[in-house]
Amino acid sequence: MGIGLIIVGDEILSGKRQDQHLPKVIALLKERGLSLDWAEYVGDDRARITATLERSFASGDIVFSTGGIGATPDDHTRQCAAAALGVLIELHPEAKRLIQERILETASTADKPADLNSPDHLHRLKMGEFPHGAEIIPNPFNKIPGFAIRQHYFVPGFPVMAWPMIAWVLDTHYAHLFHQQPHDEKSVLVFEVAESTLTPMMEDLEQRYPEVKVFSLPSVGSETMRRHIELGVKGEPRQVQQAFAEMLAVLDGFHMEYESTAAVD
C-alpha cells in the first residue's frame, strides 16, 4: 500500500497560484514516520479528473485529493469521484446539517436572519453532495466537510482547511502505521566527478543491500559551491550504516574529494 496525493486546479497549472500542498503533505507524513509514494497534478477537466481517480481507486493506495470540492461551475471533484466509482452522488445528511449550521452561525454573527430555503443557501448544500457511501471529513476552519471513500480523502484546496483535515485523517485512521519502518539516511557531497563514475558502485550497493536505496543528486554548482553530487544511502538503519561505510571506502580508494552534507547544512 502506497500513499498518493492528487492536486486539482487550473490555477496551479497556469501558475496563478503556487502549490503549497506537496511540501506540506510530505512534512505531515514525515512527522509520522510515513512517506509519499507519488503525486499528480490535474486541471479542472472532468474527463481527466475521472480518469485519474479511476486509476487511483484501482491502486489500493491511500490517496489524498485537494481542491475542486466546492459548488462553483469549475469544481468537479465530487462528481468525478462518483463517476470513477460508478455510484450516484447524493446529499450527505451530516454534511447538510453542518453546512446549515455554518449558514446560521454566519448569519448570527452578521445579525441577519437566515432563510435556509433561499436559493443561495440551497445551492450551498451542493458542497455536501458526495458519492454514495462516502463519510465526512470534519473541517475545523468553517465546518464545511470533505469526504472519504475507498481510502481516498477529499479536502478543499485552501491550505488553512486542507492541512488540518489531512492531519486528522492520518491521526484518526492510520496511527497504526506511524513509525513502523525504521529509517536512516546518510550522504556526502562529492566534488568534480561524473555520475557515470559512481554508477557501478551505486548498483553494487543496492544489489548487496536490498533494504537500502542509493541516491545521487547532481548540481552544476554556484558562485559559492563547486560542481558536486550529493551521494547517499537511505533505508533500513543497520544496512544504511554498512552501505555508507563501504561507499566512503570506495570514494577514499579512488581519492575522490567529498565532505559531509552536515557541514553544508
Q: Which of 57, 67, 79 is nearest to 25 (CA)?
A: 67
User: Cα–Cα distance between 57 and 69 in angstroms, integer?
Assistant: 18
pLDDT at residue 264, rounded to an integer: 47
pTM assigned to the model: 0.86
State the cell numbers at 59: 491502486
Outline which parts of the chain fall under CATH 3.30.70.600.
184-264
Map residue 2 onto helix, strand or coil. coil
Q: Does domain 184-264 have CATH number 3.30.70.600?
A: yes
112 or 48, which is more confident: 48
DSSP 25: H
Query: Which contiguous run of DSSP H or E holds residue 3?
Result: strand 3-8
Outline which parts of the chain fall under CATH 3.40.980.10.
3-177
pLDDT digits (tens, 9 = 90+) for 128-166: 999 999 999 999 999 999 999 999 999 999 999 999 999
Q: Which residues pair with 217 in a beta bridge?
A: 230
DSSP 108: H
pLDDT at residue 183, rounded to an integer: 87
CATH topology of domain 3-177: Molybdenum Cofactor Biosythetic Enzyme; Chain A (3.40.980)
User: Cα–Cα distance between 220 and 229 in angstroms, integer?
Assistant: 9
Model confidence at 246: pLDDT above 50: yes
